[in-house]
Amino acid sequence: MGRLAQTDGLTEIQRDILATVRDFVDKEIIPVATELEHKDEYPTAIVEGMKQLGLFGLTIPEEFGGLGESLLTYALVVEEIARGWMSVSGIVNTHFIVAHMINAHGTQEQKEYFLPRMAAGEIRGAFSMSEPGLGSDVAAISTKGVRDGDEYVLNGQKMWLTNGGTSTLVAVLCKTDEGGSSPYKNMTTFLIEKTPGFGPNPTVPGLTVPGKIEKMGYKGVDTTELVLQDVRIPADRVLGGVPGKGFYQMMDGVEVGRVNVAARGCGVARRAFELGISYAQQRSTFGKKIAEHQAIQFKLAEMATKVEAAHQMMVMAARKKDSGQRNDLEAGMAKYLASEYCKEVVEDSFRIHGGYGFSKEYEIERLYREAPMLLIGEGTAEIQKMIVGRRLLEEYRLAD
């Protein structure tokens, strides 16, 4: 293990967890990741291994059967998993977001019902906010929930669900028009249990997961649409029991999700650096290893600096959230920096590999297709800069 991306101040338990995950990644993920990715095959054996390690319950409180670990621990675990294969980190990310939302905002009944089974990996979560015409404008949401006695009737179409097919619980944001004039008080999160699979759902009439969306990268994990046609959901499956709080619940989930995406960027960048510095010491040109050429050393220096900077920014954002403080500024910075640096480090490693980087036999080819997703997931760079800019103006506003 190199000296890059080390984290000071960890407890012995945190170090033990990370060592266990790192060993799992090296033995169970890296050797099979490229083959599974090329086949676009769901990593069933890897997921079962993560269940046995307790990773699906990593941040769920001990009273509900989880390990009760911090966002920092989770982010560092995700960094290690993404180093092995980014798609696997996506499988746990949406599950983690939904578990966080239930723990932070759910009723006691919802916590007792969902969290123990989520901790065991028996229920796996998916997060559904985006829509085909929505983009970053959450206020333009059109999927609608209408109250009908003790139920809500949901209609609409959602987009870009990670784990949409394999999940058994989906947190779905809908417009409910029960909160007055503000669009942000007219959104509600519904917790929908379903059977895994594609097509019309056998246990939820009117709910359909059409199939996997074909992607250039981020394969293995399923990304789907979600169609709701007169889907009836009991009112007690409104997250928190009170309608109109969905926007704020989802934004809380996205905020921790941004730390997760930053961690994924750190993991992919670190793997790209490892591949690049290894290849540079094996490949020879003009009578010497290319690592001895100054141009390659400059690239390696820049790559390592970016890996280190992104890691430390991600750690700071996670620790800020764990302390109970507002961290949208730090999370936005971390997500923006880590995703942009990841793209640059991967491309530099790709260049170091030369023509071989273009071959599917080399791992860097997979990373080159995976990195762009991080530029978009949990908010684009432009959204992060808008968030950061607004927060900076709040912090540095001139006195009237």
Tell me if residue 62 is catalytic. no
Contact 186, 175 (CB under 8 A): yes
**Among 182, 186, 297, 162, CA closest to 173:** 186
CA distances from 241 to 107, 109, 148, 244, 267 (A): 6, 10, 15, 10, 37
Long-range contacts: 11-15, Cβ < 8 Å, 24+? 14/69, 14/72, 14/73, 14/76
Contact 226, 170 (CB under 8 A): yes
378, 382, 394, 395: the active-site residue: 378
Would you call 174 exposed, middle or buried from its count of C-beta atoms within 10 A (0-12, 13-18, 19+)?
Answer: buried
Sign of the dihedral defined by the CA atoms of residues 298, 299, 305, 308, in that order: negative
DSSP state string for 57-124: GSSS-GGGTS----HHHHHHHHHHHHHH-HHHHHHHHHHHHHHHHHHHHS-HHHHHHHHHHHHTTSS-
Active site residues: 378
